[in-house]
Chains A and B, each alone.
Chain A
């Protein structure tokens, strides 16, 4: 088993109202010096593929076809 970690983030220029709301709430709590806040998702996949390159390629294909919507999101795959 190999674990792949897929990080999905909104692309630059795509509005992230959740990030904005979190940034605002941090300000309300008194945290100063917080610039832009962006939110995304982390998806952990357990893969039976043991070859690192093949496992990464598999997870990237999953990200392209389902886990991320590449119109609005970018993704990054790392193997744990």
Chain B
């Protein structure tokens, strides 16, 4: 009976894991679906997030079911501090496609001017459709 219970537990755990590992999306990072479910985006911070300093991240775009990486026509990233109603300096921000990887971009020079909760507004054009996703992050 105990063996049966252990086996059931293992099956349940495997099923739980498999729902997060359906595609190439890194299981360690939570992603966000766009407003109209045009895409699913994962933002991995490679430096930061920091306040009053430069941070960097990668953006990975997937289809709405987050199964497969998708090709993206254009990307814009606007950090926004909703609680204060203002943005930040974007003059050093650079978005560059990662060579040889579909739907993946690096963003350097993200400058969050103060600590606190930020919304990273990711606007992307996929198959001619413009959509926006909001990634929440707290800068120390």
Q: Determine if chain A interacts with chain B.
A: no
